Amino acid sequence: MAVEEKQIDILVLDDDVDLLTSTAELLADVGYRVKGFSDPESALEYAIDQSFSVGLFDFRLGSVKNGLDVVETMQALGSKAVFVMVTADAEHSTQVRAANLKLHELLRKPVAPERLIEAVERAMNKATKLAA
């Protein structure tokens, strides 16, 4: 695997391939190094050997695992990334679990591109401070 792949800024996880692609392109266009995955298993496999600063995950992933399950597993594996979750799910239990996992931010869909970039910038700033 190439060295530059080990130095990504943002790992994006969304089962909607069109949304995944547009989100990854949006973040790449503003200068971030992005790696995208459409299934949780591939994202988890990648995260075992690679590091990233920010995880931007959709909550509903169309599989047995949801975005919070993936965050929990990555944290258990030792990930120090800062996580942002995008969801249309407004259930209180989702918000409580997100807080317990210390998610940096929980964004409600639909998210305007500018708002998404601002949330990622805040998460990146936090990741930089934590790494210092």
> What is the reported pLDDT for 1?
35
Res 11: pLDDT: 98
Domain boundaries, the chain: 3-125
Extended beta strands in 1-132, E state: 10-13, 34-37, 54-58, 82-87, 105-108
This prediction has a pTM of 0.91
Rounded Cα distance between 90 and 37, Å, is 24
Q: Specify the amino acid at residue 123.
A: A
How would you write the pLDDT of the chain (132 residues) with one tens digit per residue?
333 444 789 999 999 999 999 999 999 999 999 999 999 999 999 999 899 999 999 999 987 889 999 999 999 999 999 999 999 877 899 899 999 999 999 999 999 999 999 999 999 999 999 988
Q: Specify the CATH number of the domain 3-125.
A: 3.40.50.2300
pLDDT of residue 5: 42
Looking at residue 129, its pLDDT comes to 92
**pLDDT at position 60:** 93
